Structure 1
Amino acid sequence: MVPRPLAHAPAPARSANVLLFAVAGAVTVANIYFPQPLLAAVARGLDVSERTAGLVASTAQLGYALGILLLVPLADAARLRRLASVLLALTSAALLVAATAPDLVTLTLATLALSTTTVLPQVLTPVAAVLAGPERRGRVVGLVGLGLTLGSTLSRTVSGTVADASGSWRGAYGVAAVATAALLLVLPRRLPERLGARRQSSYAGLLAGLPRLLAVHRELRISAALGACAFAAFSVFWAVLAFHLAAPPLGYGPGATGLFGVLTLPAALLSAAAGPLADRFGPSAVNAGGLVCAGLGLVVAGLGPHSPAALVAAANLLVVGVSSSQIASQARVFGIGREVAARVNTVFMLATFGGGALGSLLGTWLYAAHGWTAALLAAGACSAVGLVVVTAARPTVPSCVRHVTGEAGGIRPRTPQGES
């Protein structure tokens, strides 16, 4: 039986579009992280405790996870230009509400709204991967991922600078609203009309089919497990770093932890090379190399626990290792098929965030009970489990065969020429 070509195939990605996707991803993902340095100013401005103001940061993470689960799957069925326009408009409006919030309750609710709708980065990544095609998939995912890394890292510095210059934390929210709204003028028109075929399940069907995707696609199970392990190791380290730096004999203040984000920019830039390497050698090789690199970083942190230079080197090794592994894992899942690209990314990101949340909890508990070395050993164990997953993974389907899950959840074979 001759496979049917997919309808509404998107046009190939152009370099200008990939750059725009990376910039748009950086601007939008920054909305999740830029409030973090502002929490002390928020507490003073709204006359609440710093611990209470911390609810804003927690709410941002919760909203982002909800958006990934509830909104990203829509990209497999909705009109992408309309979806992007609605998400950008809602996020901009919520940022303006946050900028004028009279109390913490309003600010927290606005944060929940804007973080739920600012999931455009997790829509743009599968779109860019599909447009790139199998030969350039890893390279494009790496470039868009670099934009997300830079956006999440530099947003903290930019928001602090804007707040200092304007004399109020509200100025940072205003700048974010303008930057997000500006994307409305350029981004939607550069997107394809649809990611896959027009015929898709209902919204309820899209969500209900997520567990089946995990059951059917071995590539997704592998990447989900690797994403959880890598981000768990990453989160253990960063969750306890601030406590370790503040403790004797280092005794550094909060600014030192923020400086580590800037000092790891070289690693973030280097991780973009993981995409081309995944295209050339396969995702598994890059996964293994990334996890080994992260493990080396943890060893360095253990050998030089009170050396700032060693800790900076360890942080860079961890960032480049985990980021490279994540890029390779996404390149693997986007090879499953364009009709499910957004949903497999949803499953992958939920697994990754779940691993990160568990890593943060485990790390802080172990550090409080047993100290720095115990936390590093836990992070190393997470990396080791990931290496076991990579080693045990073996291709079960020839590379020339793709799988696409249709509306009924069945598997339909497709040759590489099936798109033409």
Structure 2
Amino acid sequence: MTSSIAEIDSGRQGRGLSRGIILILAITSGLGVANLYYNQPLLADIGRAFSASPGEVGYVSMFTQVGYALGMLLFVPLGDIREKRSLISLLLVCVALSLVGFAESRSLGWMYFASFAIGFTTVVPQIIVPLAAQLAKPEERGKVIGTVMSGLLFGVLLARTVSGIVGDLLGWRSMYWIAAAFMLILALIMYRLLPASKPMVSAHYGELLRSMLQLVRKYATLREASLIGACMFGSFSVFWTSLTFFLEGPPYHYTSSIAGLFGLVGVTGAAGAPVVGRLADRVAPQRMIGVLVLLTLLSFVLFGLTGFSIAFLISGVVILDLGIQGTQVSNQARIYALDPAARSRINTVFMVSTFAGGSIGSTLGSFAWHTWGWTGVCLTGGGLVFAAFAVWSAHRLSSRKH
């Protein structure tokens, strides 16, 4: 990266964000990211439509998250060198076309391709989050990130509720036609509402991509946060990919719409993200991460020991989502402070790692369920959380030595 790359003052940085703008950014993030998760409560229905096994249909989630990771790697860094309003609107149109492709899938192979395309183009939230961090006052950055990330997680969780209900009433294909219409409407709204923004840096695209490797080598905190994010979101995907299959069997025998309603339960955990964000402005985020990782581990203990009790299953979902979301917000509060001129690239490294872990978690969740049942799912998810705690502990010990 050459010395010509420097942060450009937008004239607004440090003045903060109004509540209305923060809300718009949160809603946009939620509506955008929801596209990645409509499939999870519908996997059993999709599997029956194509006479596919749980393992085969589980690849639908995997390809979506692999596409998302690759899309973030290629598109999100553009947020540092391109005008964001046009970039966001164009990507929303592209994801609308991908959703239509999924709705019209006539084979699993085509569905895998459409799933990848949906993930590849659904990267708008990851352009919005560093934008919010850039415009927020330094002393409010954690709170703003927490609020926008709450909108994002609401989208993740409510997507399951909405798609489960729509899938039961209208069929799984209808959900994707509706989602495509939402994206086109959102593209128009964002183009009208978002102000034109100047690029943050001056650089060639290839130079920008190479600089991400330099950032990884330079910042140990970014390496730690990325590994923890991968493990934690992997555990999250293990659970949510397998939950539909678990709930449709004994003792519950729930339909896809009931399985989707568990997303509403998770919203309770997501609502705690702004609180975690405020704490991250006052308490050392690294210390909070250790506590939140252990909290997430507790959720898998509840799932494994008492998952056949609906009350404990619901309690575990709340704890899981609070732990995952809180860890992510705390990590982002740390890494966005590393290099203000490189926030989009830093966010790319972190989120690519996170969703690469998520794609692995989706595959492991389907495999664990097919091979070992619910106990295997809980051990697999809990194992990934324990790996995150090991990374956190190793970094903390290393920091003390230095």
Instruction: Work out which of the residue numbers 173, 179, 182 in structure 2 matches 1:179.
Output: 182
Give the TM-score normalised by the residue count of structure 2. 0.83
Task: Map Cα deviations across residues 356-389 of structure 1 (whole Å, 9 max, x no partner).
Answer: 3444444555566666555534444433343344
* Alpha carbons of structure 1 residues 28 and 366: separation in structure 2 relative to 1, 3 Å: closer
Aligned to 1:32: 36
CA distance in 2, matches of 1:260, 1:162: 15
Q: State the Cα distance separating 1:113 from its structure 2 match.
A: 3.0
Which structure's CA Rg is the greater one? 1
Give the AA of the match of 1:133: K
CA RMSD of aligned residues (A): 3.2
Q: Is the 8 A contact 1:17 1:190 kept in 2?
A: no
Instruction: Work out which of the residue numbers 275, 278, 281 in structure 2 matches 1:276.
Output: 278
Q: State the Cα distance separating 1:80 from its structure 2 match.
A: 1.0
* Alpha carbons of structure 1 residues 314 and 210: separation in structure 2 relative to 1, 3 Å: same
* Alpha carbons of structure 1 residues 5 and 42: separation in structure 2 relative to 1, 3 Å: closer
Q: State the Cα distance separating 1:345 from its structure 2 match.
A: 1.1
* Alpha carbons of structure 1 residues 386 and 194: separation in structure 2 relative to 1, 3 Å: same
Q: Is the 8 A contact 1:128 1:140 kept in 2?
A: yes
CA distance in 2, matches of 1:127, 1:386: 27
Structure number with higher relative contact order (C-alpha < 8 Å, ≥ 6 residues apart): 2
2:76 paired with 1:72 = yes
Aligned to 1:409: none
Q: Is the 8 A contact 1:146 1:272 kept in 2?
A: yes
Q: Is the 8 A contact 2:67 2:117 kept in 1?
A: yes
CA distance in 2, matches of 1:304, 1:231: 22
* Alpha carbons of structure 1 residues 113 and 353: separation in structure 2 relative to 1, 3 Å: closer
CA distance in 2, matches of 1:107, 1:365: 20
2:83 paired with 1:84 = no
Q: Is the 8 A contact 1:40 1:50 kept in 2?
A: no
Q: State the Cα distance separating 1:275 from its structure 2 match.
A: 0.9
CA distance in 2, matches of 1:357, 1:56: 10
Q: State the Cα distance separating 1:174 from its structure 2 match.
A: 3.1
Which stretches in structure 2 are left out of the alignment for 5+ residues?
none
SS in 1 for 2:139: coil
CA distance in 2, matches of 1:373, 1:96: 37
- Identity among equivalent positions (%) equals 35
Q: State the Cα distance separating 1:324 from its structure 2 match.
A: 0.5
2:354 paired with 1:352 = yes
Deviates more, 1:54-63 or 1:117-126: 54-63
Aligned length: 388
* Alpha carbons of structure 1 residues 118 and 246: separation in structure 2 relative to 1, 3 Å: closer
Task: Map Cα deviations across residues 29-73 of structure 1 (whole Å, 9 max, x no partner).
Answer: 1122224445566678xx743457766544323322221111111
Q: State the Cα distance separating 1:347 from its structure 2 match.
A: 1.0
Q: Is the 8 A contact 1:20 1:187 kept in 2?
A: no
* Alpha carbons of structure 1 residues 155 and 251: separation in structure 2 relative to 1, 3 Å: closer
2:155 paired with 1:147 = no
Structure number with the higher helix fraction is 2
Task: Map Cα deviations across residues 135-188 of structure 1 (whole Å, 9 max, x no partner).
Answer: 1111111111111111122123323444555x4544433322232122233324
Aligned to 2:9: 8
Aligned to 2:135: 131
Task: Map Cα deviations across residues 282-305 of structure 1 (whole Å, 9 max, x no partner).
Answer: 311321221121122223234324
Q: Is the 8 A contact 1:278 1:285 kept in 2?
A: no
Q: Is the 8 A contact 1:271 1:321 kept in 2?
A: no
Q: State the Cα distance separating 1:121 from its structure 2 match.
A: 0.6
Give the AA of the match of 1:252: H
Instruction: Work out which of the residue numbers 174, 190, 193 in structure 1 matches 2:194.
Output: 190
Which stretches in structure 1 are left out of the alignment for 5+ residues?
398-420
Q: Is the 8 A contact 1:127 1:195 kept in 2?
A: no
2:382 paired with 1:383 = no
SS in 2 for 1:209: helix
* Alpha carbons of structure 1 residues 137 and 395: separation in structure 2 relative to 1, 3 Å: farther
Give the AA of the match of 2:28: A
Deviates more, 1:181-190 or 1:343-352: 181-190
Q: State the Cα distance separating 1:242 from its structure 2 match.
A: 4.5
Deviates more, 1:330-339 or 1:300-309: 300-309
CA distance in 1, matches of 2:246, 2:41: 19
Aligned to 1:206: 208
CA distance in 2, matches of 1:105, 1:222: 36
Task: Map Cα deviations across residues 334-357 of structure 1 (whole Å, 9 max, x no partner).
Answer: 112232111111111122123334
Q: State the Cα distance separating 1:122 from its structure 2 match.
A: 0.8
Q: Is the 8 A contact 2:292 2:323 kept in 1?
A: yes
Aligned to 1:252: 253
